[in-house]
Amino acid sequence: MAAVQETVDRVRQIDVDQYRYGFETIIESEKAPKGLSEDTIRFISAKKNEPEWMLEWRLEAYRRWLTMQEPTWARVDYPKIDYQDLYYYAAPKPKKEISSLDEIDPEILKTYEKLGIPLREVEALEGVVRPEGERKVAVDAVFDSVSVATTFQEELKKAGVIFMPISHAIQQHPELVKQYLGSVVPTSDNFFATLNSAVFSDGSFVYVPPGVRCPMELSTYFRINERNTGQFERTLIIADKGSYVSYLEGCTAPQRDENQLHAAVVELVALDDAEIKYSTVQNWYPGNSEGKGGIYNFVTKRGDCRGAHSKISWTQVETGSAITWKYPSCILRGDNSRGEFYSIAISNGYQQVDSGTKMLHLGKNTTSRIISKGIAAGKSQNTYRGLVTAHRKAANARNFTACDSLLIGDKCGAHTVPYIEAKNTSALFEHEATTSKISEDVLFYCVQRGLSQEEAVGLVVNGFVRDVLQQLPMEFAVEAQKLISISLEGSVG
């Protein structure tokens, strides 16, 4: 009897507790009128107090967008999005000009507390001496369309690192923004990126000056709160010559029955000898067990290894979103540059994931590595789509790709669509992919040693994704590991 009850409890728990971040924060907010038009863009631009050139840039993107068609090549299926039925801008209503963290709406601070993100630099403020070697993380929190707080400003300023909402950067560092914004993902790049260029509201901006190793991890937490709102953030990271920065990104959203659109653009620029490490834990609301609701995550992420000996590394743990459509890519332009892509994509319920990477080898002696682990459970579809290409002049280009898929249950699908294009004799490309299910023998072995079926699956899955987890910064690795076990709950049995 007890065992039966336990099972029942567990199942019930899964339904309710599966998505821990599904709460909604009730705060007053200010929105742009529903729908998209030049007026909406002028409204957003005016709200942000933007200079004329920025507005022009947006309008140009918007006019371009009107001529574009929504892409249909990905293996995802969703009802047509009515772009006129969305709010393109929502901001917590400011009570007055904010000069310090204390003045931020306590509701928002509470939200971040619930998410486990310490926005208030409590320890730092109170002068607590931190143990030697403990790592600090500077956080930029984006709530719907605006950035609410950026921590550790003083310390970053000392190092010369600029870390601020992109809306502030447009005001304070227009020369940097003008030079780099849209230089990796041009406004005309693709349907969703162009839409983002027209209506993006906020996001993070990072500039690391030459020779500086950013003293702490930088982190942005994105939170969609408002109903019927699209979130369009834009992130721009520039690592100047010989610098290093590690950047983390996390995302959550309330549980809602309707689908919400998230179309972000991330641009990374690494100059000579610079290195950027970009980690994402994507945990948008994936929809309920019937596939209702959830976020459409249509994201364009691209890094440009512009300088010689530069390096860009993408690490992503994708567990959320109803639909994921994202391909973090590396343009290996500089000689001897290196691109890396480590990914864990987990889909459960009715989630659809179409994700992968592009490695474009243009410079000499460029190397890239792709490790992708896809896990499909429930009734989900999980696709890896990747491109590796070597230009005629990319002498000695090297790539290694391993993409493995794990299927849990017989109602899900796992697909692999790699494109491998070599136009150079000295290019050496290796690609391998496997698809399998968790071996019964291994599960039996674990269960026999006293683990429950779920624990056994968790153990095997953690082993399966270990290569990627190792690439995550420590704080994130723990969180990611927890996420993985939560995402897979209810997939066995």
Partner 1 sequence: MDVALVKPTTERATRELFAAARDRLPGSGPVSEARQAAFDDFARRGLPYRRIEEWKYTDLRTLLREIAPLAATPDQAALARAAKAVVARDAKGAYKLVLVDGVFAPQLSDQTPETGVEVRALRNILENNDVAARADLLITTAASDTMISLNTALATDGVVIDVAENLNLSRPLHIVHITTQSSTAAFTRSLLRLANGAHATLIESFVAAEGAAAYQAHDSVVLWIGDGAELQHVRLVEDAHDAANISTAIVTIGAKARFNSLNLTCGAAVSRYQGFIKFGGEGSHADVNGVNLLNGHQHGDTTLVLDHAVPHCSSNEVFRAVLDDQAHSVFQGKIIVQPDAQKTDGKMMTRALLLSDGAEADNKPELEIFADDVTCGHGATVGALDESLLFYLRARGLSEKEAQALLIQAFVGEAVESVADDGLRDVVIEAAERWLAARG
| CB-nearer residue toward partner 1: 213 or 392 | 392
**Binder among 51, 118, 210, 409 for partner 1 (CB under 8 A):** 409
Stretch that binds partner 1, among 90-98, 186-194, 244-252, 402-410 (CB under 8 A): 402-410
**Binder among 27, 55, 101, 417 for partner 1 (CB under 8 A):** 417
Angstrom distance (rounded) from CA 316 to CA 326? 11
Stretch that binds partner 1, among 144-152, 296-304, 333-341, 406-414 (CB under 8 A): 406-414
| CB-nearer residue toward partner 1: 263 or 414 | 414
Dig out the tokens for 226 from the structure.
């408002």
- Residues 32-54 as b/e (b if ≥16 CB within 10 A, e otherwise) read beeebeeebbebbbebbebeeeb
Report helix, strand or coil for 186: coil
Binding mask 77-96 for partner 1 (x = CB under 8 A): --------------------
Q: Does 492 bind partner 1 (CB under 8 A)?
A: no
- Residues 92-118 as b/e (b if ≥16 CB within 10 A, e otherwise) read beeeeeeeebeebbeebbebbeebebe
Angstrom distance (rounded) from CA 206 to CA 196? 19
Nearest to 354 by CA among 327, 331, 330, 376: 327
Q: Does 68 bind partner 1 (CB under 8 A)?
A: no
Indicate if the alpha-carbon torsion angle 58, 62, 64, 65 is positive or negative.
positive
Q: How many other C-beta atoms can be found within 10 angstroms of the C-beta atom of residue 310?
A: 32
Q: How many other C-beta atoms can be found within 10 angstroms of the C-beta atom of residue 319?
A: 25
Nearest to 151 by CA among 110, 105, 117, 107: 117
Nearest to 457 by CA among 300, 348, 343, 350: 348
**Binder among 27, 55, 59, 428 for partner 1 (CB under 8 A):** 428
**Binder among 13, 84, 426, 452 for partner 1 (CB under 8 A):** 426
Stretch that binds partner 1, among 4-12, 118-126, 411-419, 468-476 (CB under 8 A): 411-419
**Binder among 271, 353, 422, 477 for partner 1 (CB under 8 A):** 422
Nearest to 325 by CA among 185, 485, 190: 190
Rounded least distance, CB 385 to partner 1, Å:
10
| CB-nearer residue toward partner 1: 110 or 423 | 423
Site for partner 1 in 375-394 (CB under 8 A): 392
Rounded least distance, CB 323 to partner 1, Å:
18
Q: How many other C-beta atoms can be found within 10 angstroms of the C-beta atom of residue 283?
A: 25
| CB-nearer residue toward partner 1: 59 or 433 | 433
Angstrom distance (rounded) from CA 184 to CA 466? 31
Q: Does 72 bind partner 1 (CB under 8 A)?
A: no
**Binder among 436, 453, 462, 470 for partner 1 (CB under 8 A):** 436
Report helix, strand or coil for 133: coil
Dig out the tokens for 361 from the structure.
């080898």
Dihedrals φ, ψ of 172, to 5°? Answer: -90, -25
Rounded least distance, CB 419 to partner 1, Å:
5
Rounded least distance, CB 76 to partner 1, Å:
14
Stretch that binds partner 1, among 191-199, 298-306, 428-436, 470-478 (CB under 8 A): 428-436
| CB-nearer residue toward partner 1: 124 or 417 | 417
**Binder among 222, 429, 464, 476 for partner 1 (CB under 8 A):** 429
Q: Does 415 bind partner 1 (CB under 8 A)?
A: yes
Which H or E element spans position 295? strand 294-305
Rounded least distance, CB 399 to partner 1, Å:
9
| CB-nearer residue toward partner 1: 217 or 404 | 404
How many helices and strands (H and E) does the chain possess? 13, 24
| CB-nearer residue toward partner 1: 50 or 335 | 335
| CB-nearer residue toward partner 1: 407 or 456 | 407
Stretch that binds partner 1, among 7-15, 42-50, 213-221, 431-439 (CB under 8 A): 431-439
Tell me how far CA of residue 206 lies from CA of 37, 136, 147, 237, in angstroms.
Answer: 30, 17, 14, 5
| CB-nearer residue toward partner 1: 280 or 372 | 372
**Binder among 416, 471, 481, 487 for partner 1 (CB under 8 A):** 416
* Residue at 427: amino acid letter: A
Rounded least distance, CB 390 to partner 1, Å:
8
| CB-nearer residue toward partner 1: 53 or 419 | 419
C-alpha angle 189-192-195 in degrees, rounded to nearest 5:
90
Task: Enumerate binding residues for partner 1 (CB under 8 A).
Answer: 73, 392, 405, 407-437
